[in-house]
Structure 1
Amino acid sequence: MSFEINQEKLAQYQQDFANTPQAKVLERAVTKNGILASSYDWHSAVESAPIFSIDLDTGDVANQKQSGRCWMFAALNTMRHDMASKLGLKKFELSQAYTFFWDKFEKANYFYENVLNTADQATDSREVAFLMATPQQDGGQWDMLCALIEKYGIVPQSAMPETYSSSKSNEINTVLNKKLRKDAVTLRQLVANNSSKKEIDDTRNQMMTDNYRMLAYTFGEPPVKFDFEYRDDNKQYHLDQDLTPKSFFEKYVGWNLDDYVSIINSPTDDKPYNKTYTVDMLGNVVGGRAVKHLNVEIEQFKQLAIAQLKAGESVWFGCDVGQSSERQQGIMDLNVYGKSELFDTDFSMSKAERLDYGESLMTHAMVLTGVDLVNDQPTKWKVENSWGPKVGTKGYFVMTDAWLDEYCYQIVVNKKFLPENLLKAQTEAPTTLKPWDPMGALA
């Protein structure tokens, strides 16, 4: 059934605009100031005062700059918080460039694995088209960082500092994706020619040799051994020599990463609560830890985060940060912009509808470092971002509880905070979701 816009309908739309009393005033305001400034509600700033009943002291924020490493920054920050407390070392960061190098290296190999697994499909199949759209990118998931740490460990930023491309990743992403697509042509041709496994493996090995060289030029070659030298907040000097990245993690972080699990809130019909899910073709380390989510109702989701904060431990979380968010002031509030009132249009959708219809998905990872409880119920949350100290309150944001309900999708908590029924559910085999499922979005 077609619907053509004819002159009669156009006249009707024009007359409706002319009959709207405030139309010309709003036209002048929006054309001059834009949609966000014209719809901004200053009451949000008043109601989002950065004061919290539970407020962890986590020090200065980090800055991911022009890269998509928020998931790394957030995860490494949760570990840094624990280290800083133990060592008395507030001004300290773990190396995001180190994990960035290995992530890109492993993602290239993971891409080749998926290329070979789909080599019998036409290039216009949805799976192959999905792979080729973005062979690799900066984003990731908590479990993907765990896979890297379990294989390669971590290092302090002093052992592998930032480079031009770790802080501004567009150039290496463009070049690496160009190479990976070219490599995909080669690998698919080898399969089509019924080449032996040895020939395919030898070709793939040379591709990975080239990838290592490209990444070493770009980020610097990762350290194999290093010294950890620092002065703590009491000016005491410390030197620990001949550490490896894995021994550094074991000695200075010491977490059992298996204790930390991904909890999601996805109220869509295809994901019953208290069940686990994984995502096809999502990961970075071939043979490494798989992505696994446990879906729970939003109230349970929040209580798990609160329990971990009460225990003095920050919480990695993923959300759709661009939704109803004022970046400069660091406010995440459903009412920060009155777009519906400005346009006299209902934009409301349920959380499930936004996921099902592509209006929202996880785009950014940050850290919960506080919560304001009134009568033991959360009203707002303290958020440590990784956009530097010039936004928000020295880099910290305020997220209202209502905003969390609508746009937060994932937290990572220690299993010790899960009740017995969720502990049991988390151990069950996951349902595999399609590669393009919104719960596979990379922060």
Structure 2
Amino acid sequence: MANPVGILTPEIFNDFREKFYADKKNLLAQNVCTKNNPLDACISRANTAETNHVFQHKITEVKPMTNQKNSGRCWIFATLNVMRIPFMRRHMLEDFEFSQPYLFFWDKIERCNFFLHNIVKTAKLGEKVEDRLVSFLLRDPINDGGQWDMICNLINRYGLVPKTCFPESWTTECTTRMNFLLTSKLREFAKILRTIVEENGSDDKIEKTILEQMAVIYRIVGICIGIPSEKITWEYYDKSKNYHCVGPITGLEFYKQYVKPYFNVDEKVCLVTDPRPSHPFNELYTVEYLGNIIGGRKVLYNNQPVETLLQLVAESIKDNEAVWFGCEVSKRFASKSGVHDLKAHDIEVMFGIDAQLGLKKPDRLIYGESCMTHAMVFTAFSYGEDTKVAKLRVENSWGEERGDKGYHVMTGDWFKEFVFEIVVDKKYVPADILAVFDKEAIVLPAWDPMGTLAE
């Protein structure tokens, strides 16, 4: 009897083996890669020699370099890194950080509440647990990551505080264990809520149950992270060593009085580039069930060509304004040297494949090969000989070990392939692009890659 189609037979493996050893380059590659990180072994010497951290247009950068450590809080770090620049200029500070743990605490609380209400909503719609939607919601109910509109929700409701007023805890720097506890409880709570809905329980009973569940969530998060004080007092020295004292004041009052005049999150807009044929440019999109606060603003995506995003980044930086952005950080990235470049690795030479770029950007989104995974900040750029943006400087939140004391270099070509969204002030955006925000948003399914959260 003949073997079924698709069986990998000994004859096939013999053919593979003979072809592998027939190419002596494979032997050298095997010797190198079995003793080293395969991607580090592929780093291009020629590319490294041509890379530098000198730029034509650069904003006034500030200290210290931040470090999110073992957490998925990049979206919070990137936002606060952008916001602290004008704040530090105004208050003449030598070094400063807003409290990332403060926003992280409130995001965990609000997002658990958001998740539980989504479970109720899907149950009322008759969605089964086995269906794709509910399965997706249950898969990772309390992800650390986020999107721009989600950070705006937190800041507009809870404000900001200096990091000295609410510092890191062990859990904020290593979130896995707390997330494990929260995930377990949220799935347990989801079953309880779905049972109430199936038994035609009243809305009052549902809300009472959610409040009881949220008390448990609050206790877990409060124990692991600490609980922010209702009011803070901030004492500091400016660059001239003059003493200042602010407070007692709430986080929201602190934002409105001391930060918002110099960085108003409501004056910033998020533009994305999604080149899939089914998602035309100059349209507004949102993702179903994506968010973090009940009653907060929706996550909205104004879809524009990537060249538009690159141009607006340049205009912002020339005006001394840093730019929040989201990208797929892991592709064609030389981590230790902090280089984002399509030519950073000689993968073709080592493995004989066109790694990661065999698919074009639209197809990478469609086939699950690409999505936004990380948020960082643009602080500088240079034009090339063709007057187009050739390279950009990137402030990351992984400490000082990589790149130029934590700053990375990104080529314009890498930007076009792996950057998916930017946030800029409205004043830099043409009126016709701003008008897209007035359109009714096209709703994408919860699992759409544009809903991926930056970690």
TM-score after normalising by structure 1 = 0.97
Q: Does 1:7 align with 2:7?
A: no
Q: Does 1:419 align with 2:433?
A: no
Matched to 2:50, the amino acid is E
1:382: which partner in 2? Answer: 393
Given candidates 12, 24, 39, the residue that maps to 2:27 is 24
Q: How many angstroms does 1:409 deviate by? A: 0.5
Contact 2:58 2:318 in 1 (8 A): no
Percent same amino acid among aligned pairs? 38
1:410: which partner in 2? Answer: 421
2:335: which partner in 1? Answer: 327
2:166: which partner in 1? Answer: 160
Contact 2:101 2:168 in 1 (8 A): yes
Given candidates 38, 52, 57, the residue that maps to 1:35 is 38
1:185-196 equivalences under 5 Å are 185-196=191-202
TM superposition outliers: structure 1 runs of 4+ over 4 Å: none
Contact 2:40 2:334 in 1 (8 A): no
Deviates more, 1:322-331 or 1:363-372: 322-331
Going from structure 1 to structure 2, the CA distance change for 1:270 and 1:46 (only over 3 Å counts) comes to: same
Q: How many angstroms does 1:180 deviate by? A: 0.5
1:7-86 equivalences under 5 Å are 7-60=10-63, 61-86=65-90
Aligned residues: 443
Residues 352-409 of structure 1: CA deviation (Å, up to 9, x unaligned): 1111111111111000011012353211100000011122111111111111111110
Matched to 1:66, the amino acid is N
Going from structure 1 to structure 2, the CA distance change for 1:34 and 1:228 (only over 3 Å counts) comes to: closer
Q: Does 1:288 align with 2:299?
A: no
Deviates more, 1:117-126 or 1:14-23: 14-23
Residues 67-122 of structure 1: CA deviation (Å, up to 9, x unaligned): 11000000011111110111111311000111000000000011011100111221
Contact 1:48 1:399 in 2 (8 A): no
Instruction: Give 5+ residue unaligned stretches, structure 2.
Output: none
**Partners of 1:24 and 1:46 in 2: CA distance:** 27
Q: How many angstroms does 1:41 deviate by? A: 0.5
1:93-132 equivalences under 5 Å are 93-119=97-123, 120-132=126-138
Q: How many angstroms does 1:281 deviate by? A: 0.8
Q: Does 1:363 align with 2:363?
A: no
Q: How many angstroms does 1:16 deviate by? A: 1.6
1:146-225 equivalences under 5 Å are 146-225=152-231
Q: How many angstroms does 1:131 deviate by? A: 0.8
**Partners of 1:96 and 1:139 in 2: CA distance:** 13
1:267-306 equivalences under 5 Å are 267-306=275-314
Name the Cα RMSD after superposition: 1.3
Matched to 2:73, the amino acid is R
Matched to 2:376, the amino acid is M
Q: How many angstroms does 1:156 deviate by? A: 0.7
Residues 325-364 of structure 1: CA deviation (Å, up to 9, x unaligned): 1121111111111112211123322111111111111111
**Partners of 1:58 and 1:366 in 2: CA distance:** 14
Given candidates 401, 405, 427, the residue that maps to 2:412 is 401
Residues 296-338 of structure 1: CA deviation (Å, up to 9, x unaligned): 1111110111111111110000011111111211111111111
Deviates more, 1:374-383 or 1:117-126: 374-383
Contact 1:48 1:380 in 2 (8 A): no
2:444: which partner in 1? Answer: 433
**Partners of 2:376 and 2:27 in 1: CA distance:** 41
**Partners of 1:362 and 1:253 in 2: CA distance:** 28
Residues 16-39 of structure 1: CA deviation (Å, up to 9, x unaligned): 223223232222222222421331
Contact 2:114 2:294 in 1 (8 A): yes
Contact 1:83 1:253 in 2 (8 A): yes
Given candidates 367, 377, 383, the residue that maps to 1:373 is 383
1:118 is paired with a residue whose SS is helix
**Partners of 1:23 and 1:415 in 2: CA distance:** 53
TM-score after normalising by structure 2 = 0.95
**Partners of 1:437 and 1:317 in 2: CA distance:** 19
